[in-house]
Amino acid sequence: VKPMTPRCSVPKAVPVGKSASLHCHENEGFPKSTYSWYRNSEPLSPDTKSNAKFHNSSYTLNPATGTLVFHAVHKGDTGRYSCIATNDAGFAKCEEQEMEV
């Protein structure tokens, strides 16, 4: 079963240095969906260490739960965030939401 449009929650504004949690979830898809996050239409790597582009970002992305946690946000984390839920039957994307740091 193709995933439904996931519900995404993105904080509107976060002070520099604070933590921020972004959530993405849908429960119609079968098999269970995996989640990927995008900032300004660019995919966020689940592994920040292996990707030089995200080396300065301090976040944890859990593809199984759809949770994206920034441990200490900085100005560069400002942007439009969206999430895609994917399974074998297809994918669905939530609307972009702005997070300002």
Give a yes or no: residue 1 inside a domain. no
26 is in which domain, residue-wise? Answer: 7-99
Q: What are phi and psi of 4, to 5 degrees?
A: -80, 170
Contacts of 15 (CB under 8 A, 6+ apart): 73, 101
Which residues in the chain show pLDDT less than 50? none
The full 3-state SS of 69-101, as one line of letters, equals EECCCCHHHCEEEEEEEEECCEEEECCCEEEEC
Q: What is the pLDDT of residue 46?
A: 73
Tell me the whole-structure pTM to 2 decimals: 0.90
**For 2, how many CA atoms within 13 A lie in the half-sphere containing its CB?**
6
CATH assignment at residue 50: 2.60.40.10
CA separation for the pair 64, 43 (Å, rounded): 16
56 domain-assigned: yes
Residue 42 has what pLDDT? 92
pLDDT at 39: 95
Q: Is residue 2 part of a domain?
A: no
Residue 31 lies in a domain: yes
Q: How many domains does the chain have?
A: 1
What pLDDT does 5 receive? 98
